[in-house]
Structure 1
């Protein structure tokens, strides 16, 4: 079972990662906090980052 720490969020709309502890800063920024931001586990976040370092990319699937 994957444990969700909710330290990281992912937004398909921006194709970006967000750190939950910085949410208040994002919310007051010009771009704000993405409406579609979803929590991801630390393990899944690390898998995605490791994949990018190997030349893979994250693609939004409709």
Structure 2
């Protein structure tokens, strides 16, 4: 899978193909990453897709910026 795939989102079936694990395990990996704030989930009629959670990166950059500015 290309690194750009995370920008387009990944599904459990993408994870199955990439990691070579069972579908239930792939789903657990994705949900675990979501609970840690690494991924965020989009729910559509086609199912779940997970994306890189940019909110946490933006918040961290803002903290660094504000800390330096003061």
TM-score, normalised to structure 1, is 0.29
Larger Rg: 2
Identify the structure with bigger relative contact order (alpha carbons < 8 Å, sequence gap 6+). Answer: 1
Of Structure 1 and Structure 2, which has the larger fraction of its residues in helix? 2
TM-score, normalised to structure 2, is 0.26
